[in-house]
Every structure is written in C-alpha cells, then in structure tokens.
C-alpha cells in the first residue's frame, strides 16, 4: 500500500488499474479526459495490461464496452455530461444485455446553456437505465468503490453495469491523500472476471439481445433485470463488509454523519456533502442537533436503510444539485416516495435546489436551510421548494444582462 496525493480522476484510473481492466473503449470529454489519458500512459509504459481504443462517440463507446463485456473481458470506461446523454440509448441497451462493466461518470451540468462545471442532472438522466449507480464524495471513495463496483457488477445475482459517479472539478481535479492498496490485496478481494457460459466463442453459439414479440416476454426480461438490480443492495452490503475487513474502510449505500441524535438531517449526494459536514460540525458546536445523510447508492435505492436512518427525525432537508423542469429536485421525489406511508417517517421533508453548474453552496446557506427546517418542524408547515440564489448573484446577473442589452443595441444601431 502507498499513500499519494492524487485527483479524483487519477483515483478512478487507479481503480481500473488495480481491477486489472482488460479493455478501455474511450471518447474524450471535459472533465473526464485525465482518466483515459492516465490509463493510456500506463498501458504505454506497460504497467497496466489494458487495450485502449478511441471510439468516435459515446454511443459507440458504450456499445463497444457492452459488446466486449458480453464477450468476456473486464471493461472500464468513463464519460461525462453531454457524452452520457449521447450514449443514452446504449445505456439502456447494454444494461438489458446484462453486460457487467464499470463506467465512471464525471458529473457536469447539461446544455443549454453549455457549461463545464458540475451538477447531477447528467447522471440522474441515467437513473432508470438499468445501470447501478454509486456516488462518491472523496477521491479515496472513487478508488475503493471502483473495485467494489466490479465485484457487484460481475456477481451472478446481479450481472449489471455500474456507474461510479464523481463530481467534475470538485472531485475530478481536486487532490486528496489516497491510500492505494497493493495489487495482491486487490487480487484477493477481486478475482478475475468469470463471464460464465453466455459469451461468443466458436463451437458455442449464443444469441444476445434478440427481439421479443409481445409484452409477456418483454416484461419477463425487464422484471428479471429489475429484480437483479434490487438484489444488488444485499450483495453490495456483503461486498462492503468484505472490503472493510480487508482494507479497513467502510463504504455502503448510505453514509450517516452525526445522525444518531440529530433532529434535522441534510440529505444529499456527492462531494458537496463535505461542505455539509463542515456546516454540521459548526452547528453542533452551537448545540444545534443536525446531521447528514449522504446517499451513496442511488440505484438500487436503499429504501429500508433510509427509513431506519430517518426514524424519529423531526425534519429532512433534501439538497438537490439537479432540477427536473416542471417538478423540482429529483432526490426530493426519490426520498418522499420512499418515506410516504412509513409509520416513523419524519413529518417534515423540505426541498432545496442548489449547486447547479458548479455554483457553490455556502456554509451560511446550510445554516439557513437548517433554520428553515427547525421553523417548519415547530409550525408543522412544509415550506415551498427553494431555488438557492443570493441577492449578490442576482445583482451580478442583472449587470451581465445590462451589458448584453447594450451590446445588442450597438449591433442594431450602426
């Protein structure tokens, strides 16, 4: 084991390297490129025995990844944002093939307007695809979870591709100290991929992804995939226990931070939870009973774990770094559907949208969110969803609009 200061992207590449990925179909997109360039360098240097092929689009990249996994090699790939959406048809398709492989998504906001910075609308668009989804908050977690994701994807009870999500810039380009496990320890944890009998070989005909006629066979295969995804919850817990026993680090479907005696709980995903932790610590110093529940696994959704973690809490503040147009925060929808009708559910679940396109969520905003939730739990009235935006930000955008207006006038009046 070594300890190094590396970026989230480098941690992702280390995960693929230690997993001994055989194959990397790739297509570049900011902020993912460091992952594929790192693996390209390693395979050039001969320290990683991985064949890399540059594809002409993410649609083709995901097709090649699925086809190679279905042929029986261990596949890694990575994308982000527009690329993930460009490949969307194939996300659903290769998940239906039950092709197990791991893909990193380096979260980035979606056009329009086009941006390079992070939020979660890209990855949430893949929510219903059949890919399992694990969301990371630290560089260490990116590495560890990539290894665990291979075990999960390849497990006979699961056999589904997995996306490991890391936030663009905040994680992809941030250096943190990361323990890099030794290859022998990883080999003992993650044995070679056993593709099973359904692979393409001469003398062994296999038909994959054939058409079905009618709703009954179609439903059967869709249900089968859904049940496999559900089964992944227990499988992941067992993998997490084994990982902890071997490496001493715990990764599960949910992370609880100072939750036990908390009355108000922040609920969110990804690297911004680090900011929430700091806010929790500060408020705890002032005696405010707050905690943080971080959703690490979005699919399968850990409904039971979530219910038990929130039992008896007075309020949950859901912070969504995404926006479903015409509805609101997607995590808010997810959590309320999991809690509704549950006897011990917190009476107050509030919705806040922030952190879009790399916008920060300040510590003061966390304080304010906690205050709103405390008031709500006292009055019993749930406030309407809030789109986080400060007066200063509004003033700045008004200035930009004024400039844009003047520029346009100058164009019109020669």
Partner 1 sequence: MTEARFQRMKDLPSTHLLGAGTAMCAGCGGLAAVTEVYDVLGENTVFVNAAGCMTLLSVYPFTPFRGSWLYTAMASAPAGAQGVRDALDILRAKGRITPEEDLQVVVLSGDGAAGGIGLSATSAAIDRGLDFIYLCYDNEGYGNTGQQTSSATPHGALTATDALRSGFAGWKKDLFAIWVANKPAYAATVIGGEPLDLARKLEKARSMDGPRMILALAPCPAGWGYDPEHSVEIARLAVKTGIWPLKEYADGETVHTRLPHPRQPVENYLKLQGRFAHLFEPARDEPRLKEIQDAVDAYWAPLEAEHAGG
Burial, 412: exposed, middle or buried (Cβ in 10 Å; 0-12, 13-18, 19+)?
A: exposed
Provide the edge-to-edge strand list for the sheet that holds 162-167: 76-79, 102-107, 162-167, 132-135, 297-299
The binder of partner 1 chosen from 203, 341, 380, 414 (CB under 8 A): 203
CB of 98 to partner 1, least distance (A): 13
- Stretch binding partner 1 (CB under 8 A), from 117-125, 205-213, 271-279, 349-357: 205-213
Question: How far apart (Å, rounded) are the C-alpha atoms in residues 160 and 100?
Answer: 5
Q: Least CB distance from residue 22 to partner 1, whole Å?
A: 5
Check residue 213 for interaction with partner 1 (CB under 8 A): yes
Smallest separation (angstroms) from partner 1 to the CB of 203: 7
Query: Which of 104, 124, 208, 123 is CA-nearest to residue 159?
Result: 208
Minimum CB distance to partner 1, residue 210 (Å): 4
Residue list 88-127, contact with partner 1 (CB under 8 A): 89-90, 93
> Out of 191, 196, 217, 312, which residue is the one contacting partner 1 (CB under 8 A)?
217
C-alpha span between 304 and 307 (Å, rounded):
5
CA 302, chain centre distance (Å): 14
Structure tokens at 146: 């990539």
Binding test (CB under 8 A) with partner 1, winner from 23, 42, 236, 366? 23
24-63: contacts with partner 1 (CB under 8 A): 25, 49, 51, 53-57, 59-61, 63
Choose, by CB under 8 A, the member of 1, 112, 211, 325 that binds partner 1: 211
Q: How far is the CB of 225 from partner 1 (least distance, A)?
A: 15
Strands (E), 36-143: 51-54, 76-79, 102-107, 132-135
Strand 162-167 relative to strand 297-299, pairing: unpaired
Residue 362 as a binder of partner 1 (CB under 8 A): the answer is no
For 110, 192, 276, 357, the CA distances from 113, given in Å and listed in that order, are 7, 43, 27, 10
311 binds partner 1 (CB under 8 A): no
* Partners of residue 293 on adjacent β-strands: 256, 267
CA-based nearest residue to 9, from 179, 180, 173 = 173
- Judged by CB under 8 A, the residue of 201, 246, 250, 399 near partner 1 is 201
Q: Which is nearer to partner 1, 54 or 114 (CB)?
A: 54
Nearest alpha-carbon partner for 178 in 132, 233, 139? 139
Q: Give the residue, chosen from 28, 37, 72, 173, that forms a contact with partner 1 under the rule CB under 8 A.
A: 72
Backbone phi and psi for residue 349, each to the nearest 5 degrees, phi listed first: -130, 115
Cβ neighbours, 10 Å, residue 335: 25
Judged by CB under 8 A, the number of residues near partner 1 is: 42
Under the binding rule (CB under 8 A), the answer on residue 71 touching partner 1 is yes
Does 67 bind partner 1 (CB under 8 A)? Our answer is: yes
- Single out the segment in contact with partner 1 by CB under 8 A; choices: 6-14, 141-149, 201-209, 264-272: 201-209
What the block records as the tokens of 374 is 């405390």
**Does 73 sit near partner 1 (CB under 8 A)?**
yes
Q: Which two tokens stand for residue 50?
A: 């991985």
CB of 127 to partner 1, least distance (A): 20
State yes or no: residue 223 binds partner 1 (CB under 8 A).
Answer: no
Between residues 51 and 327, which has the closer beta carbon with respect to partner 1? 51
CA 144 centroid distance within chain = 14
Which residue's CB is nearer to partner 1, number 153 or number 369?
Answer: 153
| Residue of 165, 151, 157 whose CA lies nearest to 230 | 157
Closest CB 74 distance from partner 1, rounded Å: 9
Pair of tokens at residue 291 = 């905690």
Position 389 contacts partner 1 (CB under 8 A): no
Contact between 225 and partner 1 per CB under 8 A: no
Listed residue (98, 75, 85) closest to 20, CA to CA: 75
Output the smallest distance, CB 213 to partner 1, in A. 6
Burial classification of residue 243, based on how many CB atoms lie within 10 Å of its CB (0-12 exposed, 13-18 middle, 19 or more buried): buried
Residue 265: CB minimum distance to partner 1, A: 42
Considering the complex, state which of residue 67 and residue 290 has its C-beta at the smaller distance from partner 1: 67
Give CA angle at 166 (162, 172), nearest 5°: 135
- Chain residues binding partner 1 by CB under 8 A are 22-23, 25, 49, 51, 53-57, 59-61, 63-73, 89-90, 93, 200-213, 217
């Amino acid at each position: 084991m070594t300890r190094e200061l590396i970026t989230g992207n480098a941690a992702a590449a280390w995960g693929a390297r230690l997993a001994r990925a055989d194959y990397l179909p790739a297509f570049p997109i900011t902020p993912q490129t460091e992952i594929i360039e790192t693996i390209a360098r390693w395979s050039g240097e001969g320290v990683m025995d991985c064949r890399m092929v540059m594809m002409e689009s993410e649609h083709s990249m995901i097709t090649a990844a699925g086809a190679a996994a279905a042929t029986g090699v261990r596949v890694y790939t990575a994308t982000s944002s527009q690329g993930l959406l460009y490949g969307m048809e194939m996300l659903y398709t290769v998940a239906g093939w039950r092709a197990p492989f791991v893909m990193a998504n380096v979260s980035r906001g979606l056009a329009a307007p086009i941006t390079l910075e992070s939020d979660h609308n890209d990855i949430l668009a893949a929510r219903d695809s059949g890919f399992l989804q694990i969301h990371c908050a630290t560089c260490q977690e990116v590495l560890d979870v990539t290894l665990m994701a291979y075990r999960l994807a390849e497990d006979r009870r699961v056999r589904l591709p997995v996306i490991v999500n890391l936030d663009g810039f905040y994680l992809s380009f941030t250096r943190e100290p990361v323990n890099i496990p030794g290859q022998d320890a990883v080999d003992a944890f993650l044995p070679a991929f056993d593709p099973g009998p359904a692979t393409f070989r001469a003398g062994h005909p296999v038909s994959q992804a054939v058409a079905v006629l009618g709703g009954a066979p179609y439903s059967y295969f869709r249900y089968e995939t859904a049940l496999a995804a559900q089964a992944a919850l227990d499988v992941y817990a067992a993998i997490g226990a084994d990982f902890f026993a071997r490496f001493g680090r715990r990764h599960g479907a949910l992370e609880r931070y100072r939750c036990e005696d908390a009355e108000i709980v922040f609920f969110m995903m990804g690297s911004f939870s680090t900011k929430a932790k700091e806010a929790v610590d500060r408020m705890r110093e002032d005696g405010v009973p707050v905690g943080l529940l971080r959703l690490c696994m979005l699919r399968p959704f850990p409904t039971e774990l979530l219910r038990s973690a929130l039992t008896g809490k007075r309020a949950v503040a859901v912070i969504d770094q995404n926006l479903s147009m015409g509805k609101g925060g997607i995590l808010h929808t997810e959590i309320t559907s999991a809690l509704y009708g549950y006897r011990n559910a917190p009476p107050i679940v509030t919705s806040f949208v922030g952190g879009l396109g790399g916008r920060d969520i300040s510590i003061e905003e966390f304080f304010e969110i906690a205050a709103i939730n405390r008031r709500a739990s006292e009055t019993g009235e749930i406030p309407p969803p809030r789109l986080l935006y400060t007066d200063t930000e509004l003033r700045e955008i008004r200035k930009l609009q004024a400039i844009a207006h003047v520029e346009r006038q100058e164009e019109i009046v020669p």
